[in-house]
Structure 1
Amino acid sequence: MHALHKLLFFHLLTSLGRDALGGKIINGEKAKKDSMLYMVSLQNNKGHVCGGFLISEDFVLTAALCNNHLTHVILGTHDLSRVANGNKRFIEKIYTHPYYVNVGLGKDIMLLKLSEKVQLDNRVQTIQLPTSEMSIRDNVKCQVAGWGKTRSNGTTVDKLQVVDVSTINKHVCKQKWGGLPDHVICAGGYNTNKGFCQACFLFGDSGGPLVCNGKAVGIVSFNKDGFCSYPNFPNIYTDISKYLPWINYVLKQKTC
């Protein structure tokens, strides 16, 4: 990234403050009950904080920006107003990427080790990650889901929402933002009225997966502001495939 573009980009993110965080699914619909069984609600003592997704029986993948006094996760339900005791798992250990500082510098990725393994069944499933580093093509149709707000100045929802988005050319995305951190994917929020938007706090869709061709390829990271009029700035996701060595290293630390 050129020095001037980097300066302008980081100034933009700084001026946006916490409004730069992903927070809402816009112009989506309720997820079907038998779909997206890998979705996880990250919670603290006040309730829902962020989204995440199950990648093994005892690990959840999410965004590093979601590290906000997390205590437990909820699995196996699309409706956060109807949570049974069996849906809850406490968080045993948090692994934030060692070089994460803020979303403007990238590396917005985090793993959560659960206190006990989850029983995989017709309510809870894992989602597959890329098996190697990859570069996703332009205009690939993908999905993003979450429990955030559905419109600007709206209220958060209890029932999981999902929306279709398409990947955006990296050069176009970089030009619109005036620069980008390394290892991100752009999808939705530009030349469309669909995608995720922002919340003033961490409650919402942040940390949820960008799912393309049945695999989780990205993690909801940031966007421009708290308004949901989209045509100017693409949505930004962490590119999971670029962090596979780190993910695999952490998954092997079973006794840490």
Structure 2
Amino acid sequence: MKKHLTLSGVSVAFATPDGVHTVLDGIDLTIAAGEWVVLIGQNGSGKSTLAKVLCGLSPVSKGLAECDDLQVQMVFQNPEAQIVGETVYEDVCFGMENRAVDPEEMPERARAALEKVRLAHLTGQSVTTLSGGQKQLLGIAGCLAVEADVIVFDECTAMLDPASREMVLGVAQELQQQGKTLIWITQWMEELAYADRVVALAAGRVAYDGTARAFFYDGVCAELGFVPPYAVQVAESLQGKGVVLEGQPLTPKELSEAVGDVCR
């Protein structure tokens, strides 16, 4: 049986000098094992709080959050915030030490985790020499070393250059293929194309839960104040001029193929 993350009527509220501030309001959400769910929302929509609830880092004020005994770990937006060790090896071992993993198991677990994120050749290197993308990959390796079932990526590509973003996204794709559940928080609309499912928050509530194609091509994207990726903008412009494209392209590659089919 597949394990799930399930939120039932979850609300989170905080006391402030101006009264009670509700951040999440009656969230119902189920995420199945192996899904890649992209979580989006404008600033203040509650997406970061929702991520913390899913990781068990934030208590709920109302409702029920269940995780089926899943191990949930987070990769943070700022890669510096999650690095503890002086070397790559020391850092990837830190989480295992906190969980009292048998020291004899640590070297193999560390090696396997670093291999999966393509950092095995940097085992003894100082973390200060790593690029931003490599530091995020090291954060992912730490999650893998403690055998996380679910990895929450909290805008982990926000501070990366395009090449590093692609590197991290490529590793994430491989992890999903290996059965990991991914919850991907982002402001980059291009990254929705990788997801099985998009969940959009607005004012602490679920405003959309469905596919990326429906999000962009059914008008939800504009309604929620987001700008669609360039490939979607071009496709919609062409269709507005009477050029019918097959498949509702999301990426430049899909757009190129769709335009090529029309031209043939």
User: Bigger radius of gyration, 1 or 2?
Assistant: 2
Task: Please give the TM-score of this superposition, normalised by the length of structure 1.
Answer: 0.26
Task: Please give the TM-score of this superposition, normalised by the length of structure 2.
Answer: 0.25
Which structure's relative contact order is higher, taking Cα pairs within 8 Å and 6+ residues apart? 1
